[in-house]
Amino acid sequence: MRSRVLLVTGGAGFIGSNFILEAVRRGHAVVNLDALTYAGNMDNLASLHGNSAHTFVHGSILDSALIARLLDEHRPDAIVHFAAESHVDRSILGPAAFVDTNIIGTFTLLEAALKHARSLAEDDRKTFRFLHVSTDEVYGSLSPDEAAFHEETPYRPNSPYSASKAASDHLVRAYFHTYGLQVVTTNCSNNYGPYQFPEKLIPLMIHNAINGKSLPVYGDGQNVRDWLYVTDHCDAILTVLEDGTPGETYNVGGLNEQKNLDVVKILCTILDELHAEGAPHDRLITYVKDRPGHDRRYAIDCRKLQSSLGWSPKESFETGIRKTVQWYLDNAVWVEKIVSGEYREWITGNYASRA
């Protein structure tokens, strides 16, 4: 891929920061617009300090004047839109922020992108891309024997999070069909890897296990997720950015369905080996009250991305999960800075009611 200028939103979060590290490594220049909510963390990008390929802008996708200024000043080849409220449990306890950021924020960004695209010469307008990063959760929940989600699966979102992402996907689609904005959307399964905020299943369980705290498995622990190592997701986004067809959506998945309880047990086994203190860690597993409306199973059919653009996940779950546990063991300071702040209130609020 030739070197590009990318306006990345939400680049201080989990996937966005992994994406920026990879994009800069591949020779792209990135302008990173992030509001630094509880999930944004500049420590994720510490290795880019002083690197002129990364420009950080503290601000919101709800600020249309700021976005217009950034588009005008930096004239990016593409917008890569990660910024979102992303945690299902938070969306259940406080859905308003999800409507604001995920729906109104995406709308604000689309409006600014369209205005900008219209100001470009025809050739540049055709190559300009708006890449919308979305989730498999928009498709709802699968029964055990149902075929995996494909790009034509009807949308049936069940949580305020997935409903807000579904709404944003529909807006993105409409800006292509109505206005001709050159959009592409990716719908990805659950990611894991370095820099994931320890409110999500895998980093939360690693953190709790290391600290001798209980491992709260929702319901019966038999819910299934399709786990993808984060750098494989970043690679898929860069592939779609380069070769994806405007107006198309691409499902991205790990080809790796796992029951939650099995994931937790695997983490315990790896920790027994890498962090023997506290072993056996599976004694900490505790079943807690289920998440309301908890989707039973997600699985992604990513054959379109594989066959049309030649992408496939490179990391196996065995290697990826081991690397992830090792990363959290090696980066205790990164975790400690997070868990000493607002995080404590969230943990008390979310888990006290599940006891």
Task: Report the catalytic residues.
Answer: 136-137, 161
Tell me, by CB under 6 A, how many residues bind ligand TYD. 12
Residue 249 contact, options ligand TYD, ligand NAD, none, Cβ 5-8 Å cut-off depending on partner type:
none
Shortest CB 246 distance to ligand TYD, Å: 28
In order of 84, 232, 312, the CA distances from 301 in angstroms are 24, 15, 12
Shortest CB 258 distance to ligand NAD, Å: 13
What DSSP line would sit under 287-308, residue for residue?
A: EEPPPTT---B--B--HHHHHH
Distance of alpha carbon 328 from alpha carbon 338, whole angstroms: 13
In order of 33, 159, 213, the CA distances from 77 in angstroms are 15, 34, 46
Residue 271 contact, options ligand TYD, ligand NAD, none, Cβ 5-8 Å cut-off depending on partner type:
none
What DSSP line would sit under 32-78, residue for residue?
A: EEE---TT--GGGGGGGTT-TTEEEEE--TT-HHHHHHHHHHH--SE
Shortest CB 190 distance to ligand NAD, Å: 4
Under rule CB under 6 A, which residues in 100-119 are in contact with ligand NAD? Answer: 101, 105
- Cβ atoms of 234 and 194 within 8 Å: the answer is no
CB closer to ligand NAD out of 129 and 165:
165
Provide the 10 A C-beta neighbour count for residue 43.
14
Q: Which residue in 71, 78, 217, 237 binds ligand TYD (CB under 6 A)?
A: 217
Residues that bind ligand NAD (CB under 6 A): 9-10, 12-16, 33-37, 39-40, 60-62, 82-84, 86, 101, 105, 133, 135, 165, 188, 190-191, 197
Residues that bind ligand TYD (CB under 6 A): 88, 190, 200-201, 204, 216-218, 223, 225, 260, 291
